[in-house]
Every structure is written in C-alpha cells, then in structure tokens.
C-alpha cells in the first residue's frame, strides 16, 4: 500500500550558486558521509558532474521528505537519508537513526527515481507500507 509520494524538480543553477557561496560546508550539510565521498570523487574529476550529483541528491531528499509527510522536521534531516546506488546502478535509500527506526515502525520501504539534464534535475520517491507476514 502506498504511504506517500514525493517529487522535486530543481534548477541546477540554484545548487551551483549555493555551493559557490558556501563551498564544501554546503555539500556536507546536504550529503551523508557515503554521498559526500562520491560527490568529492565526481567533483574532482569533473565539476559539472559533481554539481549534478549534489543537485540530484538535494532533490531526492526533498522528494523523500514529502513522501514520508514530514518535510524537514524531526526525525527527518538532510544527512541521515542517503541515496546510494546498488551494484546494478539502481538508486537505493540508506537511512540512519532516528529516521531508520521511525520508518521501520511504519514498515516503510522506498522506490526512488532520479534524473538530470545540464540545467535541471528531478527526483521521485514512493514510500510503500510493507504488508505484515499475517497479511500476505
């Protein structure tokens, strides 16, 4: 059963401006530790690829916060939800406490889609309630 749906569409120039103004501090505020390592690697190879990565993660976190219905209120915060790729390349949600427990109590799982163009990024998140074993 669907718990919630969230989407976010974002101009990359907005993230670029924030990064230029605040630098690495901005990226560290938005990204979790695993994401930050990926961002650094991509940014060092190609600044535009790094900024697209940062922008897609920003959009995904906005979409995620909408899907769970909290916005950016506790227990939701930027760094405790991360979007990392499975070996297949599929984006996956990685949660830390206290959001991990909050989502587990509600039996939530997530489906994520992110896309980018040179000037825009979009993210879509579906939060789904997993059925109890007795309901299957």
What gap in Å lies between CA 121 and CA 55, rounded to an integer?
7
DSSP code of residue 42? H
Compute the distance between CA of residue 60 and CA of residue 66 in angstroms, rounded to an integer: 10
Which residues, at least 6 apart from 71, have a Cβ–Cβ distance to it below 8 Å?
65
The answer to whether 34 is annotated as binding is: no
Q: Annotated binding residue at 105? A: no
Extract the runs of DSSP E, i.e. beta strands, from the chain. Answer: 2-11, 81-85, 91-95, 108-116, 120-129
Binding residues for Mg(2+): 8, 62
Binding residues: 8, 62
């Amino acid at each position: 059963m669907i718990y919630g749906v969230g989407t976010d569409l974002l101009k990359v120039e907005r993230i670029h401006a924030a990064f230029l103004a605040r630098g690495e501090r901005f990226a560290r505020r938005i990204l979790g530790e695993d994401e930050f390592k990926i961002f650094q690697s991509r940014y060092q190879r190609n600044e535009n690829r790094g900024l697209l990565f940062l922008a897609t993660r920003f959009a995904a976190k906005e979409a995620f916060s909408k899907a769970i219905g909290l916005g950016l209120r506790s227990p939701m915060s930027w760094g405790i939800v991360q979007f990392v790729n499975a070996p297949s390349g599929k984006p996956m949600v990685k949660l830390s406490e206290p959001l991990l427990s909050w989502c587990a109590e509600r039996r939530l799982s997530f489906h994520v889609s992110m896309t980018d163009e040179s000037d825009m990024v979009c993210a879509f998140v579906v939060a789904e309630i997993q059925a109890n074993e007795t309901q299957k």
